[in-house]
Amino acid sequence: MNTADLPVSKLPKDFLWGFATASFQIEGSTDVDGRAKSIWDDFSKQPGKTQDGRNGDIATDSYRLWKDDIALLVKYGVKSYRFSISWPRIIPLGGRNDPINPKGIEWYSNFIDALLDNGIIPFVTLYHWDLPQALHERYKGWLNKDEIVQDYVRYARVCFEAFGGRVKHWLTMNEPWCISVLGYGRGIHAPGRSSDRHRSPEGDSSTEPWIVGHNVILSHANAVKLYREEFKETQGGQIGITLNGDWAMPYDNSPKNIAAAQQAMDAALGWFADPIYLGRYPTFLKKMLGDRLPDFTPEELRVIKGSSDFYGMNTYTTNLCKAGGDDELQAKVIYTFTRPDGTQLGTQAHCGWLQDYPDGFRALLNYVWKRYRMPIYVTENGFAVKNENSKPMKEALLDHDRVQYFRGTTNALLSAVVEDGVDIRAYFPWSFVDNFEWADGYVTRFGVTYVDYETQARHPKESAKFLVKVYFPVILLCCFLKVPLATVVPGTC
Ligand code: GBH
C-alpha cells in the first residue's frame, strides 16, 4: 500500500501513551535514604482518615520494586510512563535554604535512566500532593504565598537541574482543585483543614481553598517562568499543568440547569484553566466569592497567562447538574447520576462519584479544545470496579466493567480526534497498578494491574490486556502509517 496516497492522520506520530502513578500512592519506603515526612504520612495514620485505616508506609513497595515495575511496563509495551517525584525525598525539609538530599536525586536518576534504556519516555509530575511536612509546620504550606512560591520554584529548579537533561515532559502540579478543595475545604485529604470542627481542629472552608488555589497557580506559573528562562533552550522540553475536571451536563433543558452546568465547569475547571490560558478568573467565581477570591496583580497575571505549553486533563466521569444547594465548593450546583426518567447515567464504580459515561469524555475534550485551543494531554482517566477488593483475585482480574470503561473512553478519544478535529497528544490511563487511593486507603482499586498486598505480586487484569493488545497497537499503527483510524480498524469511529 502506498501510504502517501492516504490522508494524513490527525494523530501526531509522537502521540504518547502509557500508564500513570504518583509517588505517595506507590513508593512506600517512607523512612529510607533521607526522605522526611510529607503531609500525607501522619495524616493517613490518624484514626478515621482512611477507609481501612491503612497508610502509605508500604503502598505497592515501588521504591524497592522499581526494577520489577519497569519490567512490567516493558512487557506492556508502553511508550511513556507518568510518575511523580516526591518533594520530601529531594529536599527533605522542603525550603529554599534547606539541604538537597543526594540519595533522593540518585534514586529518581537511576529510575529515569532505566526507563530511557528501555525506550520509555518519562512524563514527570513535580507535585502530586506530598508536600514536605516541615513546610506545613513552618508556615502552613500552601496557605503562605510569600514562602511557598519561592520554595516550590527552588524545588522545581533542583529537579530541572538534576533531571531536565533527560526529562522532556514536565507537569508542575497534579489537580490544583483537589489540593485546594479536598485538603483545605472538605478536609478529607492532607493537611485535613476545614470549617467542620468534627473533622478538623483548624481551617476555614470559606476562604482557605481559594487562597491555596491562588498560591498553587502562582507557584506553577513561576516554575514555568524559570523553566522557560533558564532551561527550555538547552533542555528543549515541554512544561504545563494538569487539571481535574469532569464533564458537567445539564440535568434537563431548563435554562437554570443549563446555567448550573456552566457554573460547575467554571468553578471546577475554569478556576484554574481560565487564569492560566485566558488570563482571568471566571466571572461567575468572582461573583460567588467577592473579596474572598484573591486578586492577581497585573504583574502576576503576566506570568500566569500562557504558563502552560498544553492542556493537561485528568478526567473520570460526567455529572448531571441541577441548580441549587449552598455548597460553594461545588458552585452551588447539585450533582446526580440519576436522569429525570429515573435511569442511571452509566455503570456505577466502587466510588460514589464515578460512573462510566464515554460521551461525556468526548464532550469535555471538545469543550476544552474550543475554549482554550491548546493541545490536550490526557494524563489520567480510569475506573474502579465495584467491590473489586472483596473478590478473590482470579475474579478481580476479569475486570469487565473497567474494560467496558476503557473501550468507551478510547473510542471517545479517537472520535474526538478523527471526527471532531480535537488536538490530542497523549493518553495515560490511571493507574498502572492498584495503589494507595488516598482517603479510600486500599479499598478502592484503580489499577489495570492487580496488586496482591500480601506478597506485592503484580497480575495484569483484562483491562491491561485490552489496552495493551487492542488499543495501544492501533494507536501505534496509526501514528506510524499516518493513516486515519478508520483505515486500521473499520468502524472504530
Ligand atoms: C485522581 O483525582 C488523582 O490524581 C489520583 O491520585 C487518584 O488516585 C485518582 O484520581 C483516582 O481517584 O468530593 O470526595 O466526592 C481524580 C479527581 C476529583 C475525583 C474529586 C474525585 C470527587 C471527590 N477527583 N472527585 S469527593
Q: How many Å lie between the centroid of ligand 1 and the Cα of residue 315? A: 9
pLDDT band of residue 485 (cuts 50, 70, 90) is: low
* The one-letter amino acid at 7: P
CB 471 within 8 A of CB 464: no
Give residue-wise pLDDT tens across range 146-177: 999 999 999 999 999 999 999 999 999 999 99
Catalytic amino acids? 380
Ligand 1 close to Cβ of residue 480 (< 6 A) = no
Residue 392 located in a structural domain? yes
Q: What is the CATH number of the domain that holds 462?
A: 3.20.20.80
- The H helix count followed by the E strand count for the chain is 21, 13
Give residue-wise pLDDT tens across range 447-465: 999 999 999 999 999 999 9
Q: Which of 21, 246, 430, 434 to mutate to test the pocket of ligand 1 (most atoms within 8 A of CB)?
A: 430
> How many independent structural domains does the chain possess?
1
Residue 483 located in a structural domain? no
**Which residue's CA is the nearest one to ligand 1's atom 8?**
437
pLDDT band of residue 11 (cuts 50, 70, 90) is: confident
Rg from Cα positions in the chain = 21
397 backbone dihedrals φ, ψ, rounded to 5°: -65, -25
Is 365 or 418 the better-scoring residue by pLDDT? 365
The ligand 1 atom nearest the CA atom of 431 = 8
Q: What's the grid cell of residue 316?
A: 473520570
Ligand 1 close to Cβ of residue 22 (< 6 A) = yes
What is the average pLDDT value for the chain, to the nearest integer? 95
CB 397 within 8 A of CB 461: yes
311 backbone dihedrals φ, ψ, rounded to 5°: -100, 110
Give residue-wise pLDDT tens across range 194-250: 999 999 999 999 999 999 999 999 999 999 999 999 999 999 999 999 999 999 999
Residue 484 located in a structural domain? no
Residue 296 has pLDDT above 90, yes or no: yes
**Which residue's CA is the nearest one to ligand 1's atom 7?**
437
Q: How many Å lie between the centroid of ligand 1 and the Cα of residue 225? A: 28
Question: Residue 119: in which H helix or E strand, if any?
Answer: none
How much of the chain, in percent, has pLDDT values that exceed 70?
96
pLDDT for res 5: 40
Q: What's the grid cell of residue 221?
A: 506559573
pLDDT for res 3: 39
Residue 8 has pLDDT above 50, yes or no: no
Residue 453 located in a structural domain? yes
Q: How many Å lie between the centroid of ligand 1 and the Cα of residue 484? A: 33
Residue 64 has pLDDT above 90, yes or no: yes
Residue 493 has pLDDT above 70, yes or no: no
d(CA 420, CA 487): 17
Residue 489 located in a structural domain? no
Ligand 1 close to Cβ of residue 133 (< 6 A) = no
275: containing domain: 8-471
Contacts of 290 (CB under 8 A, 6+ apart): none
The ligand 1 atom nearest the CA atom of 174 = 4
Mean pLDDT score, 35-56: 98
Residue 24 located in a structural domain? yes
Mean pLDDT score, 418-435: 95
Residue 340 located in a structural domain? yes
pLDDT band of residue 489 (cuts 50, 70, 90) is: low
**Which residue's CA is the nearest one to ligand 1's atom 22?**
353
Residue 491 located in a structural domain? no
